[in-house]
Structure 1
């Protein structure tokens, strides 16, 4: 867990406002519009003659999964394809261990934070309009069977509060008591369930791989360049035209270049106007290359994102199991399950308790975890699952935010040209369309235009204002 402590910054946080930095127009005291700053950086700062293994781009994105590819897509979409030169660095173009490719692909509005509800609502709208954006063959196999979140007596009042907020923001759901649950889902043991919330629209699951491929292919068709490699270092440059609170004038250093290690071991330097860290579970390590968590003042606060391994188990139940239109069901213990295809196949999982966190050295599956932790709860909730056995399984990584388990989205308070989009802790695939649009708005418009995600910024780490989900798994 992120260490909460007081920092003796030269600059103080007043009324929880974000740290202030601005770029001044030459000969003026007025802040410069971000898009014109980008153009000026291109024309003035990226003027030197290219040297061997050097490249100059407008924007650099570390991470080519769903989040990074969505940002690349939206930057191109908002600037008519060719106004910005965007480069995405992805170390594994096969995405064999990518969180996106190994996700179960759920989308729901059943959250307690308004930002997460709004992002998911937009994610559903984005999926609905895929053919308009990507062509008539665009399809992610969306299965609209909804989510069913169960609550015990202890969690029932919170479930009511969550459902009320979701409805206020445009979600469509219904609350079901014991009798309503038993009538609608006769296969369920409701003896220890007080209440359930069933999403009726815009919830279900889809194929994450298809969405990633669409975003990436469209971004490439609009001029984005994908490079196989990984960031191994950043270079810095003094910027006298930028003023940052707490930093003596003339001593501010901004990010200037990223050093990328290519598959053959060669190192390539890429100078950029702005950089986005969207590297999933490796984002915290990338941030350290930019002195985040190792520097002074604001830079002493790390990006609290790391890899966490999660298991997905598959099993079969051919007789008397939940029907084909069964929603993705989340037990009040945290165990979830859903149908997987048209046969009697299901998938399930459970995020481990802190003391049970598995090693992230590999994606090997611990089948004993299913027998000891998952199966007993499944068998209690669905008696038809009493005799099930694991048929298949896989492991995947979460980009886990150890501070409050929610995404960190927005500019870094120290660097004028660094943005962050990571730490989604399992919810990234459904939030990717909204996150991509929001980050593009920040860069090109100077602020959030559609969904205000200010509360999910890095600043909450500085002022110690965590954004916890309540009663949500």
Structure 2
């Protein structure tokens, strides 16, 4: 079904191109051309109706029995994948179903993110994905209409380094510039002159992003991706993945698996709200993009609890982070203050007008907060963040916290980078998770990359091969020095 849909899609694209060429010459159109144009249009519309009925689940049909691609997780990553799959094939392409257990997104990592966008990474893949994220934001109106907006603030990131980290900052800046990022290295004296509100007495070097860096509203981006995906024909289902069904497939030989014992899966068991019995959804490809719940979903597919390649778990844990709001009225940093990243891991930035700011800092590994709730520990700000914050910005010594929130994200305990691509055991299961706090800015590139793997058979734009699941098996981590 999947191959047939793509083939028919190609035929229709050719028909559409021919029809467009006829339209360009309408003012010189003779009666024969006009008749041909009308017939072509009728045929095209009829094929659309047939293909839409056969391959594209409609919202009015309720729960579908089957889909070409099922995406578990409707946050920024899952919605981006759905958007790109449909964008590359349009209405006549493959059928895409997104399974989201909480359509309110009240505890979704995307909705609770601070929405940062930066190219100041050390791993080329992360730099390239962020550069594309900036390009995607730049073209929002072209993609989603004239009202599309995510309230992007292009004030850049300022990363500060101590004497021990200065050389790494220099190396990172070189790689970033080679890949197209625009930033500048600032000495202690340069920092004092450019940012007089900072105390940089213990800082050796800074790196300031001059273009394509800043922050935006994550909820707006998620809304646009979801709207774009549904308008192109993707179907969102309110439900929870609770299991996979398996069957023997004797024609597949896998290393480490006795011939004839290979277990394949192409069916998902789904629990719908307010229904006692579960339903099944047949798929050609299933993508696990469930954020901090991805490990549990993977275990349903025996990943991490099986034998051989299936003994390697998806190394993703739920982590909780606090974000605090505060107000500074006297000698506050200027309105165009960048997102400042201290070498301690503490960060702060402006949050609107009127002297409002937000700040946060990741805890030490042995001091991780509990993840059974979204309660905010305000003592963490007083004990851990404020001493660093007030030292870096003396004007913040008399601040008062006005609010705060917390959010979960999927922390990749292996190397803190996303896992992108097919699972080596299953030909039907892909993974897009483990982004460790960078998922919102990488979502456009990840969605495009997964769509390329499925529709084109390989990465076409950014080569993300090093970020595949295989690196866990061969123990080759993709290490990133600039994790915040």
TM-score (norm 1): 0.89
Q: Once the two structures are superposed, what CA deviation does each residue of 1:212-240 show, in whole Å capped at 9, x if it has no partner?
A: 00000111111111111110000012223
Aligned pair partner of 1:345 in 346, 356, 359:
356
CA–CA distance in structure 2, aligned partners of residues 81 and 362 of structure 1:
41
Q: Deviations over 1:73-109 (max 9, x none)?
A: 0000111233111110111101000000000000000
Query: Which residue matches 1:398?
Result: 409
Q: Does the CA-based 8 Å contact 1:54-1:268 persist in structure 2?
A: no
* Cα deviation 1:53-72 (Å, max 9, x = unaligned): 87111111000000000000
1:428 paired with 2:439, answer: yes
Residue 361 of structure 1 is matched in structure 2 by 372
C-alpha distance in structure 2 between counterparts of 1:77 and 1:220, whole Å = 11
Match of 1:280 in 2: 291
2:74 to 45, 49, 64: 64
Asked which structure has the greater RCO (Cα within 8 Å, sep 6+), the reply is 1
Q: Is the 8 A contact 1:35 1:444 kept in 2?
A: no
Match of 2:336 among 316, 322, 325: 325
What CA distance in whole angstroms lies between the structure 2 residues aligned with 1:248 and 1:452? 33
Size of the aligned set, in residue pairs, is 432
Query: Are the equivalent residues in 2 in contact too, given 1:277–1:286 (CA < 8 A)?
Result: yes
Aligned equivalent of 1:372: 383
Alpha-carbon distance between aligned partners in 2 of 1:127 and 1:241, rounded to the nearest angstrom: 45
Aligned twin of 1:234: 244
Q: CA deviation at 1:248?
A: 3.3
Separation in 1, partners of 2:331, 2:160:
21
Aligned CA distance change for structure 1 residues 64 and 388 (closer, same or farther; 3 Å)? same
Is the contact made by 1:275 and 1:417 (CA closer than 8 Å) also made in structure 2? Answer: yes
Establish whether residue 36 from structure 1 lines up as the match of residue 3 from structure 2. yes
Contact 1:35 1:445 in 2 (8 A): no
- How far residue 400 of structure 1 moved from its aligned partner, in angstroms, is 0.7
Q: Give the secondary structure class of the aligned counterpart of 1:171.
A: coil
Q: RMSD across aligned C-alpha pairs, in angstroms?
A: 1.9
Q: Contact 1:53/1:267 (CA < 8 Å) preserved in 2?
A: no
1:32-73 per-position Cα deviation (integer Å, ceiling 9, x unaligned): xx9639879xx9xx99xxxx9871111110000000000000
Give SS of 2:170's match: helix
Provide the secondary structure at the position in 2 that maps to 1:276: strand
Instruction: Return the offset for 1:179.
Output: 0.5
Shift of 1:449: 0.6
- For residues 417-456 of structure 1, the aligned pairs below 5 Å read 417-456=428-467
TM-score under structure 2 length normalisation:
0.87
8 Å Cα contact 2:257-2:308 kept in structure 1: no
Shift of 1:268: 1.3
Q: CA deviation at 1:317?
A: 0.2
Tell me how far 1:250 sits from its aligned partner: 3.0
Q: For residue 6 of structure 1, what is the aligned residue in structure 2?
A: none
Gaps of 5+ in 1: 1-33
Q: Distance in 2 between matches of 1:39 and 1:332?
A: 49
Match of 1:312 among 318, 323, 345: 323
CA-to-partner distance for each residue in 1:434-468, whole Å, 9 max, x for gaps? Answer: 00000000111111110000101111110111111
Is 2:124 aligned against 1:114?
yes
Name which one, 1 or 2, has greater alpha-carbon Rg.
Answer: 2
The 3 A distance-change label for structure 1 pair 217 and 298 is same
- Aligned equivalents of 2:140 and 2:470: distance in 1? 34
The structure in which a higher percent of residues are helix is 2
Q: Is the Cα–Cα contact under 8 Å of residues 306 and 401 in structure 1 kept in the other structure?
A: yes
Deviations 1:283-311 (A, max 9, x none): 00000000001000000010011210000
Match of 1:173 among 166, 183, 190: 183
Residues in 1 aligned to 2:478 and 2:83: alpha-carbon distance in whole angstroms: 28
Of residues 246, 250, 254, the one that matches 2:260 is 250
Structure 1 residue 411 displacement after superposition:
0.5
Say if 1:152 and 1:332, in contact at 8 Å, map to a contact too.
Answer: yes
- In structure 2, the CA distance between the partners of 1:73 and 1:139, relative to structure 1 (3 Å rule), is same
In structure 2, what is the equivalent of residue 386 of structure 1? 397
* Alpha carbons 1:159, 1:471 under 8 Å: kept: no
2:210 corresponding residue in structure 1: 200
Partner Cα distance (1:39, 1:78) in 2: 10
For 1:62 and 1:70, the matched residues in 2 are separated by 12
Superposition pairs of residues 70-149 of structure 1, within 5 angstroms = 70-149=80-159
- What SS does the aligned partner of 1:257 have? strand
Give SS of 2:389's match: helix
Q: Secondary structure at the match of 1:386?
A: helix
Deviation at 1:361, TM superposition (A): 0.3
Shift of 1:247: 2.6
Secondary structure, counterpart of 1:242 in structure 2: coil
